[in-house]
Each structure stands twice: as structure tokens, then as C-alpha cells.
Chain A
């Protein structure tokens, strides 16, 4: 197993007390598996993805990567896992506005301490393949939504992580760009044996997944 989550729980607090979001999520994914998690808006899909991606802590439960229990690692060690093992594609792209497209992509390699020249070659190849090579020197505000998402995708896969988490990756782009991103994610799973976990509230992106799960009442069930 690449990822194994057991009994993940997460709740948020408001003035009236805790609001449970995840009430015991169990999940296992194999290398090269494309898993789609569907659910209505507000069902906790993004929260689940954040917990799986070590972007926030679960209140309870355990998370393993390659049989290493990562949910209880130190902050520094978790940062290393995020940088080397996980790639994120967010619905809102989350590019840094003061950096060029190329620097946004290279940022992933920088924190991992990779050789800059090697990373630059790979970034250029990736951006060329995704059709944004002519935009390397542009800032996010100068790019269309589709271009921003492709740049964000390049950033997510530059370090060739074994796990890619995609949070509504097609939610903010038109159909043509959505198709490109989805094809890339599927190719990643097929060719590089990358595990892809995609969350979406729409049925189309989930259609070609190896497995479709539904988040209902804070738990994952087969769709």
C-alpha cells in the first residue's frame, strides 16, 4: 500500500461547539491507482484531502505512507514528506502572485534541495508538454485560468511524487483545459504508477477513476 488511513477524524469548532467533518475515514491506495472521492459541497472532501496531504492534523486516526506512520512525525519531517512524496493540485491553483510561472514551478524543487539545473530542465520540459513554455516569465495574474492550472500541475509533479492529491482540479477551468488536466493525471497513474486521489463534486472527472468513493456523514463508502 502506498497510503493507508485508519480511523481519521476531524472536526471544526464554532461558537456552538465542535462540528464533526470526518468521523472515521479508512482508505488504502496502491501505487498507480486513480481514486476519485465524490460528495456534495461541504461534505468534507477538501478536509480529507488536507489531512491525507499532511496539510492539517487529524484529531484522531493514523496515516501511513509506505508503512511509515507519518501522521505523528515532527513538523520538519512532515514538511519533508510533503515536499518529496506528495504533489497537490488545488482548485484555486494557489500560485504565488509575486513569482513568475517558472519560479512557481521550481519552488517545489527548491525546498527539496534538488539541483537547480536539473530541476530547471525538467520544469522546461514539463511546461513545454503542458503548452505553457511561452509563459515561463509571466506572473500568475498575466495567465488565464487554464494556464494557471497547468502551471500548478507542473509544480505538483515536478518532483515526481508517488502521490498526487487533486482538489477539484477542473473546477475553475473550461472543458478543454479540464480535459488536459484529467488526461495528465490519468497518464501519471498509468505510466509512472503515481497514486492519484481526486476529490470532486461533479461526476465527469470521476468517471474514469479506478475506484470511486463517496464521502457521506464523515465516512468513505463505495459510490
Chain B
């Protein structure tokens, strides 16, 4: 008896004739998951940028700007950095050189541009939200390093870089000593080098700077595109940023709170896109799923007529249909998630190191729960429509 029942129970979970229903649901769910994963990816990027700007005060010299990245402005000389470090409330100032990897494309797609970042490792990373960048293999930069680089995850993936390999930038060769883990935000596309190496690169690619430097007006320590400023515990970063600006002249100081607001404003388009993609995913996936489940129930209208003729009550039928709908929705959801994961990994693998999809646990769990709830609602709706018919009418319509 038990042996006989097992296959029957398994079939009840995925009854004969439900293959196309499962596939139909899977397509809808796959659409929902892939669109959702794109939205998650964009969201994580924006969120990461926001965390970064809120974690430090970025300072550059006065002027139009010579570097790139977060510290827009002119050259920040060593004397200014020393002055900043004396402002009450400042915990640390880390001189930095940020350079676009490719000067010709540096102004395009700034959200995803590749940067060479030189940081003075004698000063601990002052950014409160990124004090340590996660290293996947190898190690991060150390004080005294020269001729070595640590590559962000996407940066390394797009070039096939490994620890022990080499990276050539503007004719200079660096030994790769570390690859970062994914942060899903800007550092994924960075190559970190020592600040002295970054200064050399800067001099190598900027003739004007060479002339100024050669005239003896600048020392190497003056070649900074900006600095990251950390604050002491209990200090209000916005107030400190304003204090630095008012105390020391000739600086471009970003106010973290304002920059965060500006970042959010400038990424409002992406946020709207993200919301739209999410809604679109829900609508497409939801309609597909509910339509498929409803159609599958209506297809079996004759069976429901027969069951009611045999004494099935509305509640018994509802319970039965719900069980099947949940089984089918879960199966379709699981297949859809697998399909979306396969699509995502395939596309990402061909995207030159860029990660386009982020399949977070919350997205996958939400999708499966969403599929179950919608499947159950669709099944309830269809069942309630059917039980309003007489058994004879249900049998007639299904025959």
C-alpha cells in the first residue's frame, strides 16, 4: 500500500500534464529574477557609493581638477595636507592619487570607469565604511610597496589577472600581489598601487605637470589629486568638513551629507530605472505565473466536475487545488530561478569582467515566496470560479 502510494504522491506534486505549466511559470519567474537581479546590482552599486562618500571627507585642491574619482579638484599640496591634519576633530588624512586608467574614456560612464588609485599606506584607510577592503587572494598594499598592484575583482576578471601576474599601465609594469573580493561598487574596477607609483604614472602621462614639477616648484609629496580625511569618534563629519573649508583656504571640500544627497540626485535616474525594472519584473512574472496557474486549473474543469459529482466539497477541492498549485508554483519557481541563474552567469561570463546581475538571497527567497503566494491566489480564484458552476456544467464545459 505504502509502496503503491509513493509514486502517486510524487505525481500529485507534479501531476501528469503539468510540464508546460511548470515551464510557463518558470519563464515568468526567470524574467522576474533576471530583472530583479539587474535591479539589485544597480542598487548595490549606488548603495556602495553612498556608503563610501558618507565614510570620509574627500578633499582636493582648489581648481578644475587634475585627477579623477571622488576627489574632484586641483592639486593638493603637502602643506595643505599638513594643515588639514591639524584641524580639530581630524583623525587622519590619507594623501591619494586617482587617475583614470584610460584618459580618452574617463569622462564616459563614470559609474563604471576604471581607475588607478594610489594611496599612502603609511596612513591607515580613513574611510569609516571601507577601512579594510576584502582581499580574495594574495594581500593588500603595505607601506613601502613599490611596483606592485592590487586589482579590484572586475578589473582583474576582465584582464585575467592572477596573483603573481603582471599589469602594465602606460608602459609601467606592476606585479599583481592581491585580488580583491567583490564589493559590488566602485573598487571592483580599481587597480590599487602605492602613492609613489601613482605619482610616477601621473608625471608620465601629464606634460604640464612635468613642466611645473621640473621648474622646482613642487616636490613629489605635493603630487596628490586629493586626500581622504577621517574624523575622531563623536565628531559630526559635515560640521568638520565645513570647519576644514572655513579654516583652510584654497580647498575643494566635499561635505559627506551633501555629497550623499548629490550622489542620490545624480543617480535618481538609476533609482527610477531600478524601481521600473522591479515593477516590470513583478508585473511580467506575476501575470505569467498567475495566468499559467489559472489556465492549468481551468483546463481541468472536467476533473473538478467529476470530483464534485463524487462528493468533493468546495473546501476539499480548494485544498486539493491549493496543494497542486503550490507544488507546481514551487517547481516552476525553482526551475525559473535555475534558468535565471544560468542566464545571469552566462551573460556575466561574456561581459568582460562586469557583473550585470546580482542574485541575492533576498531576491531568490522573495521570488519563490511571491510565486507561491501568487500561485495560491490564482488557484483560489480559478477554483472559486469553477465551484460556482454545477458539477454537470463543469463536466460539460471540460468535455
Give A residues with C-beta under 8 Å from B: 50, 53, 55-57, 75-76, 79-80, 82-84, 88, 92, 94-100, 102-103, 107-108, 111-112, 117, 120, 137, 139, 155
Q: Given A55-B391, A56-B390, A117-B1, are A100 and B8 also a contact pair (CB < 8 Å)? A: yes
CB of A74 to closest CB in B, whole Å: 10
Q: Which residues of chain B come closer than 8 Å to A120, judged between CB atoms?
A: 1
- B313–A76 contact, CB under 8 A? yes
Say if the beta carbon of B311 comes within 8 Å of chain A: yes
In the complex the two chains form, what is the Cα distance from A95 to B307 in whole Å? 10
- A107–B390 contact, CB under 8 A? no
Q: Which residues of chain B come closer than 8 Å to A97, judged between CB atoms?
A: 16-17
Say if the beta carbon of B316 comes within 8 Å of chain A: yes
CB of A162 to closest CB in B, whole Å: 14
Q: Which residues of chain B come closer than 8 Å to A88, judged between CB atoms?
A: 309-310
The size of the chain B interface, using a CB distance under 8 A, is 27
CB of A169 to closest CB in B, whole Å: 15
- B312–A76 contact, CB under 8 A? no
- B311–A50 contact, CB under 8 A? no
Say if the beta carbon of B86 comes within 8 Å of chain A: no
- A79–B308 contact, CB under 8 A? yes
Q: Interface majority SS on B: helix, strand, loop or mixed?
A: helix
Q: Given A92-B399, A98-B11, A103-B8, are A108 and B310 also a contact pair (CB < 8 Å)? A: yes
In the complex the two chains form, what is the Cα distance from A100 to B303 in whole Å? 14
Q: Which residues of chain A come closer than 8 Å to B64, judged between CB atoms?
A: none
Say if the beta carbon of B368 comes within 8 Å of chain A: no
* Residue in A closest to B17 when the chains form the complex, CB atoms: A98
CB of A127 to closest CB in B, whole Å: 13
- B311–A83 contact, CB under 8 A? yes
Q: Which residues of chain A come closer than 8 Å to B248, judged between CB atoms?
A: none
Q: Which residues of chain A come closer than 8 Å to B16, judged between CB atoms?
A: 97-98, 139
Q: Which residues of chain A come closer than 8 Å to B309, judged between CB atoms?
A: 53, 55, 82, 88, 94
Q: Which residues of chain A come closer than 8 Å to B235, judged between CB atoms?
A: none
- Beta-carbon contacts under 8 Å, B370-399 to A: 387, 390-393, 395, 399
CB of B181 to closest CB in A, whole Å: 50
Beta-carbon contacts of B4-34 to A below 8 Å, as 1s and 0s? 1000100100011100000000000000000
In the complex the two chains form, what is the Cα distance from A16 to B310 in whole Å? 34
Contact of B395 among A83, A94, A95 (CB under 8 A): A94
In the complex the two chains form, what is the Cα distance from A103 to B315 in whole Å? 20
Say if the beta carbon of B314 comes within 8 Å of chain A: yes
* Residue in B closest to A102 when the chains form the complex, CB atoms: B4
- B311–A79 contact, CB under 8 A? yes
- 27 pairs from A and B in contact (CB 8 Å cutoff): A50-B390, A55-B392, A56-B391, A57-B390, A75-B313, A75-B314, A79-B311, A79-B312, A79-B314, A82-B309, A82-B311, A82-B391, A83-B310, A83-B312, A94-B395, A96-B307, A98-B11, A98-B15, A98-B16, A100-B8, A103-B8, A107-B310, A108-B310, A108-B311, A111-B310, A137-B4, A139-B16
Q: Which residues of chain A come closer than 8 Å to B311, judged between CB atoms?
A: 79-80, 82-84, 108, 111-112
In the complex the two chains form, what is the Cα distance from A97 to B4 in whole Å? 18
CB of A181 to closest CB in B, whole Å: 18
- B313–A111 contact, CB under 8 A? yes
In the complex the two chains form, what is the Cα distance from A212 to B395 in whole Å? 28
Say if the beta carbon of B306 comes within 8 Å of chain A: yes
In the complex the two chains form, what is the Cα distance from A82 to B399 in whole Å? 21
Q: Given A94-B306, A103-B8, A107-B307, are A55 and B390 also a contact pair (CB < 8 Å)? A: yes
* Residue in A closest to B313 when the chains form the complex, CB atoms: A79
- A96–B303 contact, CB under 8 A? yes
* Residue in B closest to A54 when the chains form the complex, CB atoms: B391
CB of A129 to closest CB in B, whole Å: 20
- Beta-carbon contacts under 8 Å, B152-183 to A: none
Q: Which residues of chain B come closer than 8 Å to A57, judged between CB atoms?
A: 390
**Chain A CB within 10 A, most for which of B4, B313, B393:** B313
* Residue in A closest to B303 when the chains form the complex, CB atoms: A96
Q: Which residues of chain B come closer than 8 Å to A76, judged between CB atoms?
A: 313-315
In the complex the two chains form, what is the Cα distance from A154 to B317 in whole Å? 22
CB of A26 to closest CB in B, whole Å: 21
CB of A116 to closest CB in B, whole Å: 8
CB of B396 to closest CB in A, whole Å: 9
In the complex the two chains form, what is the Cα distance from A94 to B16 in whole Å? 17
Contact of B308 among A82, A84, A92 (CB under 8 A): A82
In the complex the two chains form, what is the Cα distance from A98 to B10 in whole Å? 12
In the complex the two chains form, what is the Cα distance from A112 to B311 in whole Å? 7
* Residue in B closest to A76 when the chains form the complex, CB atoms: B313
Q: Which residues of chain B come closer than 8 Å to A55, judged between CB atoms?
A: 309, 390-392, 395
In the complex the two chains form, what is the Cα distance from A84 to B310 in whole Å? 9
- Beta-carbon contacts under 8 Å, B302-336 to A: 302-303, 306-316
* Residue in A closest to B312 when the chains form the complex, CB atoms: A111
In the complex the two chains form, what is the Cα distance from A134 to B308 in whole Å? 28
Q: Which residues of chain A come closer than 8 Å to B306, judged between CB atoms?
A: 94-96
* Residue in B closest to A100 when the chains form the complex, CB atoms: B8
Q: Which residues of chain A come closer than 8 Å to B315, judged between CB atoms?
A: 76
**Given A57-B390, A83-B311, A97-B17, 16 more pairs with CB closer than 8 A:** A50-B390, A55-B309, A56-B391, A75-B387, A79-B312, A80-B311, A82-B311, A82-B391, A83-B310, A92-B399, A94-B395, A95-B306, A98-B15, A102-B4, A107-B310, A111-B311
